[in-house]
Amino acid sequence: MEIAGGRFPAFLKSPDKKIRIFLLFGPDEGLVRERARALCLTVVETLDDPFSYSEIDAGDLSGDPARLMDEVTSLSMMGGERVVRLRSANNNSKGYIEPLVARDLASSVLVIEAGDIRKDSALVKLIKGAKQGAVTHCAHDSAADMDSLIRETLGAAGITPSREINDYLRQNLGSDRTISRQELDKLALYWGKRTEALTLPDVQAVIGDSSTQSVFDILDATLLGDLSKLERHLNRAFSAGESPIAFLRMIQGQIKQLHKAAALRDGGLSGEEAIRKAGIPFFNHKKAAIQINGKSRGHMATCLDITLTAEIDCKTTGYPAEAICRRALMRIAMASRRR
């Protein structure tokens, strides 16, 4: 059988005792680990008891193929059910698991963690088709999943985030459930028992990609024509080891969104509607409105062309990449300043 991700929390509250082999797989390895741990704790009270809980790395089975069978069919010395947790499994692990599918596992539960294997892979088909087997795909968190995690984690700490903070957190978290939860826990710990409202700068000080924030700062200075601020932020970024080529690509991504917003606005939409339809994150709407103010889509297209040419020059001319990147952004800043 298959337990959909949305049904998984309900299943944990009332697990089906007929299912003795679980497979959790998918691209979100943090979510795979979190769900596997939760499943184990529906069978045993603690994962610290070696008589009732055992972990095996699938890579170790090549040197000891019988170990998995031995662990799963062993009886607990203290009585009750045992859990065996097989980690880092993949399709090559099918041969070790297949003999267990037809066994009576009344005294043990096998929880298998796999990576981003296909839904139609041999291992998934084996467990899904077994009478006592169940599989759950662990995809990256959706916006709704992230909203729920944010409310759950910050709410437990007495923090109610604003819409712009919630939007910012969704943009900067979600690729791995464990990391997302750790970052939110870190934010809750940082904020502590303060009674004042949490602000976006507070959140950005704790959570966020420093490279992305540098891009926002540099793009802001570039499109507003603030040469001294641009120079200062570029010096800081390059001193921190940012790659000029990678940096130019990130800036291109931001300019593409602003170009789309400018085109929509020039086509008759209001500035706010154009920015929203361009896919610019809510927390950056105000800044984006300032950045495209007075600038046509033609101007933004020229800015994009300058950064694309700079990237090519970095790869082909042999001149210092930092100098090429700096010169390109200064050109855009001077043009934006005149406007």
Average pLDDT over residues 236-261: 81
Average pLDDT over residues 109-117: 91
Average pLDDT over residues 246-275: 85
Q: Decide which of 1.10.3470, 1.10.8, 1.10.150, 1.10.10 is the CATH code for 143-206.
A: 1.10.8
**Angle (CA) 257 261 265, round 5°:** 170
At residue 21, the 3 state secondary structure works out as strand
Q: Enter the tokens of residue 306.
A: 């300058």
Backbone angles phi, psi at 312, to 5 degrees: -60, -45
pLDDT tens, 19-37?
999 999 988 888 898 999 9
Q: What is the pLDDT of residue 19?
A: 94
Q: What is the pLDDT of residue 204?
A: 79
Maximum mean pLDDT: which of 14-18, 77-81, 239-243, 290-294: 14-18
Distance from C-alpha of 221 to C-alpha of 142, rounded to nearest angstrom? 33
What are the boundaries of each domain within the chain? 5-137, 143-206, 210-338
Per-state percent for the chain, helix, strand, coil, to nearest 5: 60, 10, 30
DSSP letter (8 states) at residue 15? -
Domain at 210-338: CATH architecture: Up-down Bundle (1.20)
Residue 175 pLDDT > 70: no
Residue 216 pLDDT > 80: no
Q: Decide which of 3.40.50.300, 3.30.930.10, 3.40.50.12660, 3.30.565.10 is the CATH code for 5-137.
A: 3.40.50.300
Average pLDDT over residues 324-331: 93
Residue 85 pLDDT > 80: yes
pLDDT tens, 278-316?
877 665 677 788 888 888 888 888 988 999 999 899 888
> Within 13 Å and on the Cβ side, how many CA atoms surround 93?
25
> Which of 81, 142, 80, 75 lies closest to 111, judged by CA?
81
Element (H, E) at 24: strand 21-25
Average pLDDT over residues 37-62: 90
Contacts of residues 55-61 at CB distance under 8 Å and 24 or more positions apart, as own/partner, are: 55/84, 55/85, 55/87, 56/84, 56/85, 56/86, 56/87, 57/87, 57/88, 58/86, 58/87, 58/88, 58/89, 58/90, 58/92, 58/93, 58/96, 59/88, 61/93, 61/96
